[in-house]
Amino acid sequence: MLYKRIFAGGGAGGLKEHVLLEVQGLVKWYPVRAGLLQKVTGYLKAVDGVSFTIKRGETLGLVGESGCGKTTTARCVLRLVEPTGGRILFDGRDITRLDRRSMRKLRPRMQVIFQDPFSSLNPRLTVKEIIGEALAFHGIARGKKLEERVKHLLEMVGLDPRHMDRFPHEFSGGQRQRIGIARALATGPELVVCDEPVSALDVSIQSQILNLLEDLQERLGVSYLFIAHGLNVVKHISHRVGVMYLGKLVELAESEEIYKNPLHPYTQALISAIPIPDPRRKRQKALLQGDVPSPINPPAGCRFYTRCRYAMEVCRRRAPELLECAPGHRVACHLYKS
């Protein structure tokens, strides 16, 4: 029923303003063990109090450098890893309290597109088997009906349905990622986590995949949590953008707003690193000093103050809250007051 409803082409309609996903104070700590008895000596604070929402038919871009916790956040949202604390409300239901059987019933509504389009596809299965596996497992379609839906999905992502009996190695990188997208959409999900889906592709292919994801969202009304390293990748596909640093969300705003008026010093540095495709224009670089602190022993106050050019004494003592300093624009920085 879910598959038919979404693929009827009606999209989200009047539901676009409704919140589909709400993350409240998400925490994920990994224990650090040492010694012969493997005693816990500390915790790696991968995600430490992250909160955001995603509406129906909306794309939230989550950006930050490697190790900031964005992929861990996505895995917690999907319950692929168990969160240490916080709440994850999907369609108003706290999924952190669901047992394995209840989560299995919810899986068709939450899917993921992986970063590597080759290693994420089983090389021993044909395209038909890869895409149809979830349809058969969840009892959505079998036999001739399954084959018809696989063909339809391949057409949607721009591939020839006649190639569904081929294996992944017979396709290019961009085509393999299209297969991954078709697999993610097979169960008719309402939320798709895009875990850096274009980082392993050529620049020319990246734009094709991003355009495809936008077209599918417009057609199906699906919501995206889009993860990327750089702000340049999420600029056009995201409605809102969240910037993470060392397990914390430091800024969250509408896409246009965050590019025109970045407030947090870390966001300003990320934007200044985006190349301008015009040799006559130059952008003033906001270079960061030092290295990223260890997530096992992060700074007691603001986690960015060791690299911030505007650091004050209060930054060393007290962590800033993520507060709204303008309509829809939230920032965690002592330079701004609510």
pLDDT tens-digit map of 22-50? 999 999 999 999 988 899 999 999 999 99
pLDDT value of position 272: 86
220 closest CA partner among 22, 53, 59: 59
> By the 8 A CB rule, do 334 and 315 touch?
yes
pLDDT value of position 8: 39
State the average pLDDT for the chain: 90
- DSSP E strands in the chain: the ranges are 19-34, 39-55, 59-63, 85-90, 93-94, 110-113, 191-195, 223-228, 240-245, 248-254, 323-326, 329-331
- Rounded CA-CA distance 109/185 in Å is 9
- Answer whether residue 284 shows pLDDT above 90: no
CA of 317: how far to CAs of 252, 291, 313, in Å?
23, 20, 7
pLDDT value of position 2: 41
Q: Work out the average pLDDT over 53-69.
A: 94
Burial 118-154 (b: 16+ CB within 10 A, else e): eebbeeeebbbebbbebbeebebbeeeebbebbbebb
- Rounded CA-CA distance 303/172 in Å is 41
pLDDT value of position 5: 40
Residues in the chain: 338
Residue predicted with more confidence, 284 or 54: 54
* Span 64-117, pLDDT tens digits: 988 899 999 999 999 999 999 999 999 999 999 999 999 999 999 999 999 888
Percentage of the chain beyond pLDDT 90 is: 75
End-to-end alpha-carbon separation of the chain, Å?
A: 46
pLDDT value of position 278: 66
Q: Please state whether 278 falls in left (phi above 0), alpha (psi between -120 and 50) or beta.
A: beta
